Amino acid sequence: MIISKTPLRMSFFGGGTDFRDYYENSERGYGMALSTALNMYVYIMVCKRFDDKIRVCYTKNEFVDSVEQIRHNIIREALKITGIEKGIDIVYAADIPLSSAGVGLASSSALAVGVLNALFTYKGEYASPEKLARLACRIEIEILQNPIGVQDQFACAYGGFREYKFWASGEVSATPVNVCAQTMKRLKSRLLLYYTGMTRISSEILSEQKENIRDKMRLLDDMAGLAESAEKELLEGRIEEWGNMLDTAWSLKKQMAGKISNPFLDEMYARAKKAGAVGGKVLGAGGGGFLLLYAPVDRRESVEAAMSDYQKVEFAFESEGSRIVFIEENR
């Protein structure tokens, strides 16, 4: 039996600049995102079966004779890539509700990375974070044709608080942001996370965003530049501007597609700002999922009181990426 544990991620700045149509054509020569892994996880358990059947268990229970019969598209393609054809059980669980709708924490990419990690380990092979991220991108973008970028797969594979650059050559650099522990503690103390109660089909929003890239290159340049500025402020221990920067990032992001925000989200965000939050953003594609807020320490209580109608989610930054947490050989 093998169990992999893969973190979800929180993206602060630069989301959208990880689309190939942008970073291959940007005058900057690259896109850039700043994100952290979270202490919320996707778990994959795989074990050998006595017979040649394949069982895949998530919100549904699939019991099939061949890989081609598997309806779960990411797990099906991961089995194809790793060359496993029969006699295996795969169980998928997560710290957030399993659903076809997105919530903005990169759960589908965490699944792709995590199941690949578990399957390669099952075969007795080591797969580096780079390999896991690249193969997860192949599954989600090339094979399944999902209209997404490449940030999430790398964030889930590598973990930690990192700067990601997406170069015109197709290379991706995943550089740790080496900030002192005290600065990270200060930043964390100013961040609040709320579940909006709304899910959405992220591909609908991302398809429109992808179609708009050629007309929004200047806007995306600004988003990449904002990621660089935010990293500089963090490295120098100045986090006071992060709230305003998140507010700017959210304003820019809403211009990328029509359904990124809606009246419910606008009202939720306005309530938080009226109570003292300086800025924030909806994570992921937008349209629902999780709302991240930045509240100065002296305004945190008033923001929490104003947001008491919504589900607050406790979180911490995670330093590790996808890893194998349990191995037991069949006897």
Domains in the chain, ordered, with CATH? 2-178+318-327 (3.30.230.120), 181-315 (3.30.70.890)
Q: Tokens 């419910």 appear where?
A: 264
Amino acid at 278: V
Pull the structure tokens for residue 328.
């037991």
Strand partners, 62: 56
Q: What is the pLDDT of residue 98?
A: 67
Q: What is the pLDDT of residue 198?
A: 80
pLDDT digits (tens, 9 = 90+) for 222-265: 999 999 999 999 999 999 999 999 999 999 999 998 888 899 99
Q: What is the pLDDT of residue 330?
A: 64
What average pLDDT is seen over the chain? 94
In degrees, rounded to 5, the angle at the alpha carbon of residue 222 between the alpha carbons of residues 191 and 139 is 75
Cα distances (Å, whole numbers) of residue 229 to 12, 63, 223, 236, 300: 12, 50, 10, 11, 25
Average pLDDT over residues 50-74: 96
For 44-53, 271-280, 282-291, which range has the lowest pLDDT when averaged over its residues? 282-291
Give 190's contacts (C-beta < 8 A, 6+ positions apart): 239, 242, 243, 294, 295, 296, 297, 300
Average pLDDT over residues 25-42: 96
Give the C-alpha separation, 247 to 239, whole Å: 14
Q: Using a CB cutoff of 8 Å and minimum separation of 24, what contacts does 56-64 make?
A: 56/90, 56/92, 57/89, 57/90, 57/91, 57/92, 58/91, 58/92, 58/93, 58/98, 59/98, 59/99
Give the C-alpha separation, 3 to 14, whole Å: 32
Q: Give me the phi and psi of 39, to 5 degrees please.
A: -85, 45
pLDDT digits (tens, 9 = 90+) for 318-327: 999 999 999 9
Q: What is the pTM of this model?
A: 0.95
Q: Would you say residue 100 has pLDDT above 60? A: no
Average pLDDT over residues 202-221: 85
Nearest to 135 by CA among 82, 210, 175: 82
Q: Give me the phi and psi of 92, to 5 degrees please.
A: -120, 125
Give the C-alpha separation, 176 to 159, whole Å: 9
Give the C-alpha separation, 161 to 262, whole Å: 30
Top mean pLDDT of 134-138, 146-150, 206-210, 234-238 is at: 134-138
pLDDT tier for residue 97 given thresholds of 50, 70 and 90: confident
Average pLDDT over residues 176-203: 89
